[in-house]
Amino acid sequence: MEKQFIIDDLALGESWRLFRIMGEFVEGVENLHDLGPAVTIFGSARIKPGDPVYQMAERVAGLFVKAGFSVITGGGGGVMEGANKGAADAGGQSVGLNIKLPFEQVPNPYANLKVEFKYFFVRKVMFLKYAAAYIALPGGFGTLDEVFEVMTLIQTKRVKPFPIILMGSDYWSGLLDWIQARLKPAGLISPDDMDIIQLIDEPEKVVAAVKRIVIV
């Protein structure tokens, strides 16, 4: 009887967790459904203000706002902070989708629309659902995870083929070379799968590339 009680108690906890997940989806949709054209900018939380990568994020976000886009980030420090700062300073909608973590992730002060999440996968849906382009600056495991997930969804035609642009040739070229040398010859990806992504360093050219595809 005691064992059965423990199992039932665990099952009840799992059931209630579903309501929390649903609540996060509802909160995300309610906050973002009127956002309008937007780009999501990915990148490391560990980049410091003054770093060229931070400045690049700030610059490209400001240019996107001037081109009529809102800017979405993960709401934390580093590249996310730089992008939110650039968007806010340009007078645009600066969205921070913060994730609750026991370390590292602290909401930055530059997001003028903040939504907080407990579950990574709910947050990822919001990154994807409300953006018309995805810009990735240098980052760690989290950035790579986000980039490859978007690539996979476009590859499998689960989402529209919106632009994915990688900024920072020095950072990304080794990874792209490895994909070309290992995955493509082995037939592990299709010959045209690499067309999903673009490598562009200049912020002005990044914005122009998105505007050629996305009408604001």
Supply the pTM of this predicted model. Answer: 0.91
pLDDT of residue 161: 92
Q: Which tens digits make up the pLDDT trace of 27-57? A: 999 999 999 999 999 999 999 999 999 999 9
Residue 26 belongs to domain with CATH number: 3.40.50.450
Phi and psi at residue 159, to the nearest 5°: -135, 165
Is the residue at 204 inside a domain?
yes
Distance CA 128, CA 207 (A): 18
Domain hosting residue 92, numbered range: 2-211
Collapsing DSSP to helix, strand or coil, 207 comes out as: helix
pLDDT, one tens digit for every residue, the chain (216 residues): 445 444 454 555 778 888 999 999 999 999 999 999 999 999 999 999 999 999 999 999 999 999 999 999 999 999 999 999 999 999 999 999 999 877 656 789 999 999 999 999 999 999 999 999 999 999 999 999 999 999 999 999 999 999 999 999 999 999 999 999 999 999 999 989 999 999 999 999 999 999 999 877
Asked if residue 216 belongs to a domain, the reply is no
Q: Determine the Cα–Cα distance for residues 156 and 192; give it in Å rounded to an integer.
A: 13
Number of domains in the chain: 1
Nearest in space to 88 (alpha carbons), one of 134, 57, 117: 57
pLDDT at 216: 76
